[in-house]
Every structure is written in C-alpha cells, then in structure tokens.
Amino acid sequence: MSKIKVMDEILANKIAAGEVVERCMSVVKELVENSIDAGSSEIKVELQEAGTKLIRVTDNGSGMDKEDAVLSFNRHATSKIEDEDDLYRINTLGFRGEALASIASVSDITLKTSTGNVGTVVNIKGGKVIDVITGDARRGTIVEVKELFYNTPARLKHMKSLHTELASITEYMNKLALANPSIRFTLINNNNVLLQTDGSNNLLKTISDIYGMEITKKMVEISGEDDDYVINGYISLPEVHKSNRKHMINLVNGRVVRNVELNKTINDAYHSYKPDNRYPVVVINIEVDPSLIDVNIHPTKMDIKFSKMEELISLVNELTVGCLKQETKIVDIGDVKNVQDVKEDTCTKSTVTKKEEKSKIKYEELTLDFNIISESEEQYKKIPRMYPVGLVHGTYIICQNDEGMYIIDQHAAKERINYELYKNKLGTPNNESISLLIPVTIELTNNEFIVLKENIDLLKDMKFDIEEFGVNSIIVKAHPTWLPTSYEEESIRRIIEIVIQLEKGFKLEKFNENVAINLSCKMSIKANTNIGLEEMEALINELRNCDNPFNCPHGRPTIITYTKYELERLFKRSGF
C-alpha cells in the first residue's frame, strides 16, 4: 500500500499558517491590507491584550456578497490575480489568497461583510465552518479574530510579551498610515487610542500624527524622478536622529517594504552630519512600474527586489545629498532639547498625552520656513555675520549679533574646515609633491607589508614617492604638498595605517573620506588653546565657506545659537 497521502485541506492551511501568520502583528497586517485592497477610506483596528484576546478590523470598503464571503476562506482564493500575467503587475497588497484561510485554521474568526445590500456573517473555528447567516447591510467588512493559536500550542508559547506584540503592531500600523495618508486609521488597544490619522491625504500631517510637531517641523521634502522612478517624501534634518533604523520607512507604490540597500544609501548621505550610530527619520515613497519590482519573494511580502537597483540608488543618493546640503542650518538651542528626547516608543501612554498637546498647535505651523537666516548676501546665508566677544574654557568662542548669541566649538569647527580641505585635495589628485629632507622609513609586519604593496598605487596616485626598503620596510621620499605643515611625518604614518586597514572591495571615495576625517581630527586645534579675537574671526570665516559648516565630521554640532528671544525667555524678562 502506498505510504504517501494527500493532506486534508484543514491541515494544509494550518501548516501554511505557520508561514503567513506568525504572530498577532501578522494577523493585523493581513486584515488591514485586505481592507486597503478593498478600497476603504476608513479602517479601525481594535485590540484586546495586544491582539491575543481579540483583533477586530472594521472597514468601509467594497465588502463581499455571500458567495465570496464563504469562498474567501478557501486556500488560494483571491480576487486579485486571475492569470500568470497579473503576477508581474501586482498593484494590490495581497495576491496569494492564503491569509484568511490560514488565520481561520488557527483561531475563531467571524467575518461580517456586505456590499451594501444583504449582509453575511461567516463563523469559522479551527478551519471548520460553524455558521453562515444573514447579517447587517452596512457596506464594508468587520473581521473578528479570537483565540488566536488556540490549537497550535507551540506557536502560542513562542509569542513574545504583550508589550513586544503591541509595539510591533503599532510600528506596522504607523507605516501603513504613512503609506496611505488618504485613509483614516484608528488603532485602539484595551480602549487606549494609540494611533489616529485624519485621512486628509497630506503626508506631512500624517507624519505629525505619528511623530509629533517637533519632529515634523524638522522634516524636509525630497522629490525627484528619472525615467523609471518617481521619488517623493520627507527626510529629517540632521539634528533629528533616532537610536535605530526603525524610523527609516520605505514605501514602494504605497506598499511598506524593507530594503537594506536603500536605507544604507540614505543613511550614508548623512555621514558627517550626524553621529554614525544614530539614524534619521525618513518616509520615502517610490513609484515604479510594477513590472520592474518583485514582491513575490516571501509570503509576508516585506522584502522587495528592484530590476534597476543601481539606477535607483544613485537617484536616491543624489536627492538626499542635495537636500541635506540645502537644508542644514545652525542648531537652535530652543529646539534641541525637545527633538532628541521625543519618546521612541509609540505605544506607551505618554504618546497619547503628547498627541493631545500637539493637537493644540495650529496645523499651519507645519509650513514654517526651515531657513532661519535671512541675510541677502550669499556668503552669509548659512552662517550670518557675527562678532566674537571672547573664549570660554579655551574651547568655546562666544559671538553675538542683533539676532542673538552664538557659541562655536573651536575644535569641532577646525575639524570641519580641515576635513573639507583634505577631502577637496584628495578629490583633485593632480597636486604637486614636496621632497622630504630626511626620508621617512616605516617598518611593518609581514602581512601589513603585503597589504601595503598591493595598494601602493593608491599612495602613488596621491603623489607619495614611496618604495620598498629592505625586509618589510618602506621609505617615503616625497609627499603631497597639502599635508599639514609640521605634522607631515605623523600624517604619512596615519595614511599608511589607513591603507593597511583597508577592507576588500573598498571604494576610493570611502578611503579619501577616511583619510580626510583622520587628518582633520589629528591636526585641528585641540580644545583648551587660547586664541585671539582676530584668529576667532578668521576661523568663523573659514567655517562660513564650508559646504556644511554646522557639524564636525563626526556629526557633532560646530555652532549653536541662543536667539534674543530665547535669552529673554531664559531671564524671564517682560512678556514671558
């Protein structure tokens, strides 16, 4: 007798559920995505105990008639794909027809739906149809899921804490809301409203519903396109940053996706504008012909493949770099305190209170001009005219003008100036070289020597005259003219160290960047150096000419300001 048996449908669904519905968050995801696909303009998600007791999703979409309502629970039942061709131009969030069947096999699910005429109620438990009766005629659909995973104890045991479940549901709902600003979303857990958007189709408004006004005021628009891609969205000014990448949100044709390369490109654009271990807030939507993407990689459909990835990366890079160059400004001390302390966890109660607070602020404030400097002359656009008045702790230059008071960290400023200088020099390698009176010999270990020999052309291109000199040693006879005076030997050794530490597949740009950061850091005035007013003025002028005068290469601020208003407020002068 044959040993192979064909599985019954209920068992097959239960197994598929393992992939499609792993946790409460996947159930919420599948149900809400169905509501979006059904053309809803309003979607409400109600949870009890983070969804472990109850998940109820109510929408005002197309609804289903009785026949479809029953059919929708069959495995591979979908209204979204008819033939193979459709698979290559998917523009709905769902398409596999697996979700409802899977959820129904591991829970007690009730579907109440109507196209506006007669309503239908279907109840299924553990994959078995319990009841199909006539229901309400309200157009739209309500899906209620109870006792999730009651018949799969292993899964139940693996469920994370309620807090973790709720946090990931909230995170995903936030993303869906950002992907669909024209839909009014509500998320409630145990009667606490965690998210409420207004469906006004204004992305910036949705951002403020989620992140609050302080951050929203510091989001700048990016937009651009090439032949294949249209990009729209908002990225945060460098002074706003978070401890993880969760707030870098990529949307592709309104679908929430995860793409490591895209986020890396955006984050790299902030390099030297913010600390490397902090991440910006980003919401970008990429519109592309569905045939150029593949969303069919994994059932949860978060990963995505692009056919013309390099083209996309270069467009995103160009847009973010351009945007940051244009939009950075002096950090206003009044803003700083709030922005970096905004709670990261969006599912705690304090978020709700915050939201109440911010709803008092008028929405018009969103259109605030980001550029606080109104000097007409080009050179004073980034850093206005200001006059040094003294030095504190040998480190901080205090300046003033009619607008307020400025504090410059002279070490950070010098680092920025030198960094841009070296980067420039490294980028135009047709520099002259200077012979050393006494050549520098450097001894290396055997493997360092091998690595250096492999990459020696790099140094030659930079105009170093460099040769092998006995066993595992090299001699440097000349160096590029721009090495910092009286630090030549130290710089040569530093650069050689960097060459030795090169990883495989490095890029010249990255190498130059590394050299520039290293040299600038070493050669800048150390803190606690007393300088006179004239030197201060010279330093400010040099800083003013930088591409980004506002941060040192490690992302720390070079200059902060107290506006006159801030000062008056701090001293509680009249009117405050």
Residues that bind ligand ADP (CB under 6 A): 30, 34-35, 38, 59, 61-64, 72, 77-80, 94-101, 141
Q: Give the integer Cα–Cα distance in Å for 75 and 503.
A: 49
Cβ at position 184, least distance to Mg ion in Å: 20
Do 57 and 24 meet the contact criterion of CB atoms below 8 Å apart?
A: no
Question: Which residue's C-beta sits nearest to ligand ADP?
Answer: 94
Cβ at position 76, least distance to ligand ADP in Å: 9
Is residue 103 involved in binding Mg ion (CB under 5 A)?
Answer: no
Do 216 and 283 meet the contact criterion of CB atoms below 8 Å apart?
A: no
Cβ at position 29, least distance to ligand ADP in Å: 10
Q: Give the integer Cα–Cα distance in Å for 522 and 411.
A: 10
Dihedral, CA atoms, 49, 54, 60, 61, nearest 10 degrees?
110
- Site stretch for Mg ion (CB under 5 A), options 91-99, 153-161, 292-300, 442-450: 91-99
Cβ at position 90, least distance to ligand ADP in Å: 10
205 binds, among ligand ADP, Mg ion, none (CB under 5 to 8 A by kind): none
Between 61 and 404, whose beta carbon lies closer to Mg ion?
61
Helices (H), 444-531: 446-454, 456-461, 488-500, 508-523
Between 39 and 429, whose beta carbon lies closer to ligand ADP?
39
Burial class (CB in 10 A: 0-12, 13-18, 19+), 540: buried
Between 183 and 552, whose beta carbon lies closer to ligand ADP?
183
Cβ at position 93, least distance to Mg ion in Å: 7
> Comparing C-alpha atoms, which of 275, 212, 268 is closest to residue 243?
275
62 binds, among ligand ADP, Mg ion, none (CB under 5 to 8 A by kind): ligand ADP
Cβ at position 106, least distance to ligand ADP in Å: 14
Cβ at position 95, least distance to Mg ion in Å: 8
480 binds, among ligand ADP, Mg ion, none (CB under 5 to 8 A by kind): none
Helices (H), 370-507: 410-427, 446-454, 456-461, 488-500
197 binds, among Mg ion, ligand ADP, none (CB under 5 to 8 A by kind): none
Contacts of 234 (CB under 8 A, 6+ apart): 203, 204, 207, 219, 220, 221, 222, 282, 283, 284
Between 102 and 524, whose beta carbon lies closer to ligand ADP?
102
Between 20 and 405, whose beta carbon lies closer to Mg ion?
20
Q: Give the integer Cα–Cα distance in Å for 18 and 102.
A: 8
Do 279 and 249 meet the contact criterion of CB atoms below 8 Å apart?
A: no
- H/E run at residue 9: helix 9-20
59 binds, among Mg ion, ligand ADP, none (CB under 5 to 8 A by kind): ligand ADP
Q: Give the integer Cα–Cα distance in Å for 245 and 239.
A: 15
Out of 34, 60, 208, 410, which residue is the one contacting Mg ion (CB under 5 A)?
34
Cβ at position 108, least distance to ligand ADP in Å: 17
**DSSP bridge partners of 108:** 125, 146
- Site stretch for Mg ion (CB under 5 A), options 29-37, 339-347, 442-450, 466-474: 29-37
Between 98 and 327, whose beta carbon lies closer to ligand ADP?
98
Helix (H, G, I), strand (E, B) or coil at 299: coil
Helix (H, G, I), strand (E, B) or coil at 392: strand
Cβ at position 63, least distance to ligand ADP in Å: 6
Between 36 and 266, whose beta carbon lies closer to ligand ADP?
36
Is residue 99 involved in binding Mg ion (CB under 5 A)?
Answer: yes
DSSP 245-264: GGGEEEEETTEEEB-HHHHH
- Site stretch for Mg ion (CB under 5 A), options 96-104, 117-125, 192-200, 298-306: 96-104
> Comparing C-alpha atoms, which of 539, 256, 243 is closest to residue 418?
539
Between 34 and 395, whose beta carbon lies closer to Mg ion?
34
- Site stretch for Mg ion (CB under 5 A), options 27-35, 68-76, 248-256, 441-449: 27-35
Between 99 and 347, whose beta carbon lies closer to ligand ADP?
99
Cβ at position 122, least distance to ligand ADP in Å: 11
In the 8-state DSSP scheme, what is residue 363? G
Question: SS3 string of 107-146?
Answer: CEEEEEEECCCCEEEEEEECCEEEEEEEECCCCEEEEEEE
Cβ at position 103, least distance to ligand ADP in Å: 8
167 binds, among Mg ion, ligand ADP, none (CB under 5 to 8 A by kind): none
Cβ at position 38, least distance to Mg ion in Å: 10
- H/E run at residue 99: helix 99-105
Between 298 and 460, whose beta carbon lies closer to ligand ADP?
298
78 binds, among Mg ion, ligand ADP, none (CB under 5 to 8 A by kind): ligand ADP
Cβ at position 192, least distance to ligand ADP in Å: 24
Out of 61, 63, 94, 404, which residue is the one contacting Mg ion (CB under 5 A)?
94
Between 26 and 34, whose beta carbon lies closer to Mg ion?
34
Between 70 and 336, whose beta carbon lies closer to ligand ADP?
70
144 binds, among Mg ion, ligand ADP, none (CB under 5 to 8 A by kind): none
Structure-block tokens of residue 398:
């205090």
Do 234 and 222 meet the contact criterion of CB atoms below 8 Å apart?
A: yes
120 binds, among ligand ADP, Mg ion, none (CB under 5 to 8 A by kind): none
Burial class (CB in 10 A: 0-12, 13-18, 19+), 300: middle
Q: Is the dihedral of CA 500, 504, 506, 508 positive or negative?
A: positive
- Interface residues toward Mg ion, by CB under 5 A: 34, 94, 99
